[in-house]
């Protein structure tokens, strides 16, 4: 299942017409229910090699829903997500091999240092120990994380995580 080579100018990630609606919730014993919420409403975007892409918006805007769809953790109602040529809607299990995601909420990695969390993630994705350590060092250097590599994740700001 190797990732395909991306040609110059071709999107690394392509999202087309992504829609996700959370259904209405009935209230209990006379309490008001919650209406259906359309969290993603026809989102389309491309991220090209070398680009840095950010999602900005107020609480409730659908940012977390979109990220969960992009990482294969939440299936959209319709639309497509392609990363390095892989259809993550049809094959969400491939996302774990192609993408890394660490949300701001508490996680099992909280007690680990940044460097150990990166190495552990590599091991969980099937890398042998030596390769995982080499990839850890490369990622720490590439992302300029040397100053915080020895700090536990729980001690980082949300943006640093």
pLDDT for res 78: 96
How many whole angstroms separate alpha carbon 112 and alpha carbon 153? 6
The pLDDT mean for the chain works out to: 87
pLDDT (average), residues 140-156 = 91
Cα of 22 vs its chain's centroid, Å: 20
**What is the model's pTM?**
0.67
pLDDT for res 121: 85
| Selected residue with higher pLDDT from 102 and 96 | 96
Q: What is the pLDDT of residues 13-25, one digit of tens each?
A: 999 999 999 988 8
| Selected residue with higher pLDDT from 71 and 96 | 71
Query: Given pLDDT bands bounded at 50, 70 and 90, which one contains residue 30?
Result: confident
Structural domains of the chain ordered from first start: 9-98 (3.40.50.300), 102-161 (no CATH)
Residue 2 has pLDDT above 60, yes or no: no
pLDDT for res 119: 92
Angle between helix 129-142 and helix 114-124 axes, rounded to 10 deg: 130
Most confident segment among 5-9, 95-99, 126-130: 126-130
pLDDT for res 104: 67
Cα of 87 vs its chain's centroid, Å: 15
pLDDT (average), residues 149-157 = 90
């Amino acid at each position: 299942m190797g990732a395909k080579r991306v040609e110059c100018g071709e999107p690394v990630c392509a999202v087309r017409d992504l829609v996700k609606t959370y259904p209405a919730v009935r209230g209990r014993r006379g309490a008001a229910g919650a209406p259906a919420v359309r969290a993603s409403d026809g989102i389309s975007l491309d991220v090209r090699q070398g680009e840095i892409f950010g999602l900005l918006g107020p609480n409730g805007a659908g940012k977390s829903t979109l990220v969960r769809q992009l990482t294969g953790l939440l299936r959209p109602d319709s639309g497509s997500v392609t990363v390095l040529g892989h259809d993550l809607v049809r094959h969400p299990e491939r996302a774990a091999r192609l993408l890394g995601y660490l949300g701001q909420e508490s996680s099992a990695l909280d007690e680990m240092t940044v460097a150990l969390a990166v190495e552990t993630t590599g091991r969980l994705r099937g890398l042998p120990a030596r390769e995982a350590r080499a990839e850890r060092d490369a990622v720490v250097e590439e992302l300029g994380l040397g100053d915080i590599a020895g700090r536990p994740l729980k001690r980082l700001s949300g943006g640093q995580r």
